Structure 1
Amino acid sequence: MPESTTLDQWRQAGTWLTLRGQRIFVRIEGKGPPLLVLHGFPTASYDYARLLPLLTDQYRVVLFDFLGFGFSDKPNP
């Protein structure tokens, strides 16, 4: 089983993309065909921290936090 990743380590390994003035947290890891992984509600990309190392040898894994979740911006309505 993969070693545990702390929440702070997860954040430091990611980056933010700006879309329409809002920052979206993104992690892209690995090699191969892209695999887009979407988190459920009300969670975040960190849910896949233990699964990510098992996928990166075969896939370029793209994970992000939906707007309002995880490390992405939380805009006011």
Structure 2
Amino acid sequence: MDVRIGVTQAPREISIELGDDADRADLKARIEAALSGASDVLAITDKRGNESFVPSAKIAYVELGSQEGGRSIGFGS
């Protein structure tokens, strides 16, 4: 699953690739807590174990990709 986070006053977004076993409901709850102000920081661990921390006040948007996570490259259906 891919997560893209837009940060205010930053030209690029943060892109994080999560493992296939990532809990979408838990991640969505943590994102909602960060956007509502209940949490000061949104922390996400990618599939390699790297942790990313984004201050809640700087989050412009969060986009969750599909659960399958299979990006296709080239020709095919």
Q: Normalised by the size of structure 2, how large is the TM-score?
A: 0.31
Q: Normalised by the size of structure 1, how large is the TM-score?
A: 0.31
